[in-house]
């Protein structure tokens, strides 16, 4: 299924922008920031920028993906005594 959006580092966060926005074109992110699209190859430091929560929510709505973190997800303790989230486990299994 073709994706409608791609992620773009901008001003310290990763925002979702229309996939059709080519580098150097001006458009709007899902959180309604005007930005100039950059290269699809991100600068190394931008890989660690946090995801914009507004874009993330709008992107999940558009893609039909459940919100994150999951509402009402249960936590359990594994054999090492670490608490693990069933939602996190679910995400790993989807990858
Ligand atoms: Zn955003």
pLDDT at 83 (0 to 100): 52
DSSP E strands, 1-95:
5-10, 13-18, 26-28, 34-36, 75-77, 83-85
d(CA 54, CA 65): 14
Q: What is the Cα 25 distance to its own chain's centre?
A: 21
**Ligand 1 center–CA 68 separation, angstroms:** 15
**Ligand 1 center–CA 57 separation, angstroms:** 9
Sequential pLDDT tens for the chain (95 residues) = 678 999 999 999 999 999 999 999 999 999 999 999 999 899 999 989 999 999 999 999 998 988 877 776 555 555 655 555 545 544 455 54
**Ligand 1 center–CA 30 separation, angstroms:** 6
**Ligand 1 center–CA 9 separation, angstroms:** 9
Ligand 1 ion: residues within 5 Å (CB): 15, 29, 31, 52, 55
């Amino acid at each position: 299924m073709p994706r409608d959006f791609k992620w773009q580092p901008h001003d310290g966060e990763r925002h979702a922008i229309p996939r059709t926005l080519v580098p150097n074109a001006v458009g709007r992110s899902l959180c309604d920031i005007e930005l100039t699209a950059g290269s699809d190859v991100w600068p190394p430091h931008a890989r660690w920028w946090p995801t914009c929560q507004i874009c993330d929510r709008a992107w999940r709505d558009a893609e039909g993906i459940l919100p994150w973190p999951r509402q009402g997800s249960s936590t359990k303790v594994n054999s090492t005594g670490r608490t693990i989230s069933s939602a996190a486990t679910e995400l790993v299994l989807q990858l």
